[in-house]
Amino acid sequence: MYCVITAAPIDILEMMQHVRRDADGAVLLFSGVVRDHDGGRPVTGLRYEAYAEMASQKLTGICKDVSAQFEIGDIAVVHRIGELAVGEISVAIAVAAPHRDAAFKASREVIERLKREVPIWKRERYADGEEVWLDGTIPNPPTAG
Protein backbone atom coordinates (compact mmCIF):
# COMPACT_ATOMS: atom_id res chain seq x y z
CA MET A 1 0.00 0.00 0.00
CA TYR A 2 1.19 3.49 -0.70
CA CYS A 3 -0.33 6.96 -0.57
CA VAL A 4 1.72 9.73 -2.10
CA ILE A 5 1.42 13.45 -2.76
CA THR A 6 3.76 14.40 -5.59
CA ALA A 7 4.59 17.14 -8.07
CA ALA A 8 5.69 14.55 -10.65
CA PRO A 9 3.42 13.05 -13.34
CA ILE A 10 1.58 9.97 -12.06
CA ASP A 11 2.83 6.60 -13.31
CA ILE A 12 -0.38 4.59 -13.48
CA LEU A 13 1.26 1.46 -14.91
CA GLU A 14 3.62 1.33 -11.94
CA MET A 15 0.65 1.71 -9.59
CA MET A 16 -1.28 -1.12 -11.23
CA GLN A 17 1.74 -3.42 -11.17
CA HIS A 18 2.44 -2.51 -7.57
CA VAL A 19 -1.02 -3.44 -6.28
CA ARG A 20 -1.62 -6.63 -8.25
CA ARG A 21 -0.88 -9.98 -6.58
CA ASP A 22 -1.38 -13.39 -8.14
CA ALA A 23 -4.53 -13.92 -6.06
CA ASP A 24 -6.24 -10.91 -7.67
CA GLY A 25 -8.71 -11.21 -10.51
CA ALA A 26 -9.50 -7.51 -10.85
CA VAL A 27 -7.51 -4.30 -10.90
CA LEU A 28 -9.46 -1.06 -11.01
CA LEU A 29 -7.76 2.22 -11.81
CA PHE A 30 -9.60 5.45 -11.24
CA SER A 31 -8.05 8.58 -12.72
CA GLY A 32 -9.21 12.09 -12.02
CA VAL A 33 -8.32 14.27 -14.99
CA VAL A 34 -8.23 18.05 -15.48
CA ARG A 35 -11.33 19.03 -17.49
CA ASP A 36 -11.58 21.93 -19.90
CA HIS A 37 -14.73 23.29 -18.29
CA ASP A 38 -16.40 23.78 -14.92
CA GLY A 39 -20.01 24.75 -14.61
CA GLY A 40 -20.02 25.82 -18.25
CA ARG A 41 -16.94 28.05 -17.87
CA PRO A 42 -13.87 27.22 -20.01
CA VAL A 43 -10.92 26.10 -17.88
CA THR A 44 -7.31 26.13 -19.07
CA GLY A 45 -5.66 24.47 -16.10
CA LEU A 46 -5.57 23.83 -12.38
CA ARG A 47 -3.13 24.38 -9.59
CA TYR A 48 -3.28 21.85 -6.76
CA GLU A 49 -1.92 22.53 -3.33
CA ALA A 50 -1.79 20.08 -0.43
CA TYR A 51 -0.84 19.91 3.20
CA ALA A 52 1.31 17.04 2.05
CA GLU A 53 2.24 15.31 5.33
CA MET A 54 -1.33 15.32 6.62
CA ALA A 55 -2.80 14.48 3.22
CA SER A 56 -0.70 11.34 2.81
CA GLN A 57 -1.44 10.37 6.42
CA LYS A 58 -5.19 10.86 5.90
CA LEU A 59 -5.06 8.89 2.66
CA THR A 60 -3.24 6.06 4.41
CA GLY A 61 -5.94 6.02 7.08
CA ILE A 62 -8.66 5.93 4.42
CA CYS A 63 -6.92 3.08 2.60
CA LYS A 64 -6.62 1.11 5.84
CA ASP A 65 -10.31 1.62 6.60
CA VAL A 66 -11.31 0.59 3.09
CA SER A 67 -9.06 -2.48 3.21
CA ALA A 68 -10.83 -3.55 6.41
CA GLN A 69 -14.26 -2.78 4.91
CA PHE A 70 -13.94 -4.64 1.59
CA GLU A 71 -12.24 -7.85 0.49
CA ILE A 72 -9.46 -6.27 -1.46
CA GLY A 73 -5.76 -6.93 -1.83
CA ASP A 74 -3.50 -3.93 -2.15
CA ILE A 75 -4.30 -0.31 -2.89
CA ALA A 76 -2.29 2.73 -4.01
CA VAL A 77 -3.27 6.38 -4.20
CA VAL A 78 -1.27 9.19 -5.77
CA HIS A 79 -2.39 12.82 -5.83
CA ARG A 80 -0.50 15.37 -7.82
CA ILE A 81 0.18 18.96 -6.78
CA GLY A 82 1.37 22.00 -8.71
CA GLU A 83 0.29 23.29 -12.10
CA LEU A 84 -1.68 20.86 -14.25
CA ALA A 85 -2.88 21.28 -17.82
CA VAL A 86 -6.17 20.01 -19.25
CA GLY A 87 -5.93 16.25 -19.76
CA GLU A 88 -3.35 15.61 -17.04
CA ILE A 89 -4.12 13.13 -14.27
CA SER A 90 -4.57 14.84 -10.91
CA VAL A 91 -5.34 11.75 -8.85
CA ALA A 92 -5.11 8.02 -9.43
CA ILE A 93 -6.40 5.19 -7.28
CA ALA A 94 -5.38 1.61 -8.05
CA VAL A 95 -7.18 -1.21 -6.25
CA ALA A 96 -6.56 -4.91 -6.73
CA ALA A 97 -8.94 -7.56 -5.43
CA PRO A 98 -9.71 -11.22 -5.90
CA HIS A 99 -13.19 -10.24 -7.19
CA ARG A 100 -14.39 -7.16 -9.02
CA ASP A 101 -17.27 -6.15 -6.76
CA ALA A 102 -14.92 -5.29 -3.89
CA ALA A 103 -12.56 -3.44 -6.22
CA PHE A 104 -15.36 -1.20 -7.54
CA LYS A 105 -16.73 -0.45 -4.07
CA ALA A 106 -13.33 0.23 -2.53
CA SER A 107 -12.22 2.53 -5.35
CA ARG A 108 -15.41 4.54 -5.09
CA GLU A 109 -15.14 4.83 -1.32
CA VAL A 110 -11.54 6.08 -1.52
CA ILE A 111 -12.31 8.85 -4.02
CA GLU A 112 -15.44 9.97 -2.13
CA ARG A 113 -13.57 10.15 1.19
CA LEU A 114 -10.55 11.79 -0.44
CA LYS A 115 -12.78 14.59 -1.67
CA ARG A 116 -14.39 15.07 1.75
CA GLU A 117 -11.46 14.63 4.14
CA VAL A 118 -8.03 15.10 2.62
CA PRO A 119 -6.40 18.56 2.84
CA ILE A 120 -5.91 19.34 -0.84
CA TRP A 121 -7.08 22.45 -2.65
CA LYS A 122 -7.38 23.50 -6.24
CA ARG A 123 -7.22 26.83 -7.98
CA GLU A 124 -8.94 26.96 -11.34
CA ARG A 125 -7.47 29.00 -14.18
CA TYR A 126 -10.04 30.21 -16.67
CA ALA A 127 -9.72 31.06 -20.33
CA ASP A 128 -10.21 34.76 -19.52
CA GLY A 129 -7.16 34.74 -17.22
CA GLU A 130 -9.02 34.78 -13.90
CA GLU A 131 -7.96 32.31 -11.21
CA VAL A 132 -10.16 31.15 -8.32
CA TRP A 133 -9.69 28.79 -5.38
CA LEU A 134 -12.56 26.37 -5.78
CA ASP A 135 -15.23 26.11 -3.13
CA GLY A 136 -14.57 22.86 -1.34
CA THR A 137 -16.10 20.58 1.23
CA ILE A 138 -15.81 21.30 4.94
CA PRO A 139 -14.25 18.15 6.42
CA ASN A 140 -16.59 16.26 8.74
CA PRO A 141 -14.82 16.73 12.09
CA PRO A 142 -16.23 19.49 14.32
CA THR A 143 -14.91 22.93 13.52
CA ALA A 144 -12.42 24.37 15.97
CA GLY A 145 -14.15 27.78 16.13
86 makes contact, choosing from a second copy, other proteins, none, with CB < 5 to 8 Å by partner type, with a second copy
Q: Write out the binding residues for a second copy, residues 23-52 only, by CB under 8 A.
A: 23-37
**Contact between 35 and other proteins per CB under 8 A:** no
Which residues have CB under 8 Å from 114's CB, separation 6+?
A: 59, 62, 77, 79, 91, 93, 120
Q: Three-class SS of residue 96?
A: strand
Mark residues 46-85: x for contact with a second copy by CB under 8 A, - for none: ----------------------------------------
Work out which of 42, 82, 87, 139 binds other proteins, going by CB under 8 A. Answer: 139
Number of neighbouring beta carbons within 10 Å of residue 109 = 18
Q: Can you tell me the distance from the alpha carbon of 122 to that of 131, in angstroms, rounded to the nearest whole number?
A: 10
Among 44, 86, 117, 126, which residue interacts with other proteins (rule: CB under 8 A)?
117
Taking every pair of C-alpha atoms in the chain, what is the biggest distance, in angstroms? 51
70 touching other proteins, by CB under 8 A: no
